[in-house]
Amino acid sequence: MSFRTTALSFTLSAFVTGTAFASQSPTQPEDQFDLAQQLALTPNTDSPSDARYWLEQSAHQGYLPAQKQLAEDYARGLTGNIDDSQAIYWFTSVALNDPTDSGFLLADFIQHHQTEVTNADLVDAWYQLSALKNPQAEEAYNQFLEQRFNQMRAKQVSEIVELDKKATVEEKQKQTKGHGEHKAEPSQAWFASGALGLAILVGGGLFGYRRHHRQTQINAANDASKSLQLETQVKELQFTNKQLKRQLEKVFKEFKKVKNQSDGQKLVVACAMFGYTPQTIPDSKAVKLRYRQLSKLYHPDSRGSEEEMKRLNQAFKTISQNVTKE
């Protein structure tokens, strides 16, 4: 058998094995980890995050090799977006469960990401891990999430108020400038109209010695005056229409600008409620997991209320519409 034939047979065998593995949807952490390894070598363009998904399934069952690789995955963005908070979470889990590691990977990661890692990220990771087995830690974690959300919400509200103030001042300045331009032009038009009317009256008086001829001149002057008045009115209307058109264009541009800012603010506030930013939204599975965690905090049956739960559901809907990976 030639080398080419052997290589082709091996590739086909690996593909068939990987397909069979995927179709079985393994439940054992070792099998899930092995499937993640295979998917990482032959990524699916339709579902590029499949490898990370199976790593998460295995890691959540306490399989240390999966936890280590998943932490590296989040830290370096191997099969998805970089997420420092998730990397800290899994490095911390390894530190607690692997005696041979004893926090080495966590310390190494923090040392090389000092500008990105915050105290809030560390507190979040430790609370999450403690909450898995300690009800007291779960309660403290819920309070921590609520406090962080309130801080982020207060910051966003302050920024929105400042934007509103700035928009109001700019709008007043534009209106003042627009009124000044509008008043100047009509005054010139009326001045021109008055001058023309005076010229017509003088012209009619010069020919006052002949009644018939005067009447003819008066009629002609009246017609000319009406024609000039109509022309002046048409020019004024054209000027007014141009002004209105420019104002409408400005209003439309401002409307689009404010609408885009409003949509962006909605996403920022929704992400803040979930502990994300618009640039670090994870895949839908992680979003749904965080939603279930926050539901325990905001549901009316626990410490929340219907209004808070409604706000959480709206935030979940907003974030889900902006998830880029499944």
| pLDDT tens profile 231-278 | 777 777 777 767 766 766 665 666 566 555 567 788 988 999 899 898
Provide the 10 A C-beta neighbour count for residue 70: 31
Query: Is residue 284 pLDDT above 80, yes or no?
Result: yes
Residue 213 tokens read as 């001829």
Nearest CA to 266 out of 316, 194, 207 is that of 316
- Write down the pLDDT at residue 304: 79
For the entire predicted model, the pTM comes to 0.43
Reported as a single tens digit per residue, the pLDDT across 26-44 is 899 999 999 888 888 886 6
User: Which range (76-85, 101-110, 230-239) has the least confidence?
Assistant: 230-239
Give CA separation, 242 vs 192, 216, 245, 266, in Å. Answer: 20, 39, 5, 36
User: Averaged over 179-191, what is the pLDDT?
Assistant: 47
Residue 46 DSSP class: S
Whole-angstrom Cα distance, residue 289 to residue 10? 39
Nearest CA to 38 out of 62, 11, 3 is that of 11
Residue type, position 52, single letter: R
Whole-angstrom Cα distance, residue 150 to residue 33? 38
Query: Is residue 9 pLDDT above 60, yes or no?
Result: no
Whole-angstrom Cα distance, residue 175 to residue 251? 11
User: Which range (52-66, 111-125, 147-161) has the least confidence?
Assistant: 147-161
Nearest CA to 298 out of 285, 316, 312, 317 is that of 312
Report the chain's mean pLDDT, rounded to a whole number. 75
Higher-pLDDT residue of 242, 58? 58
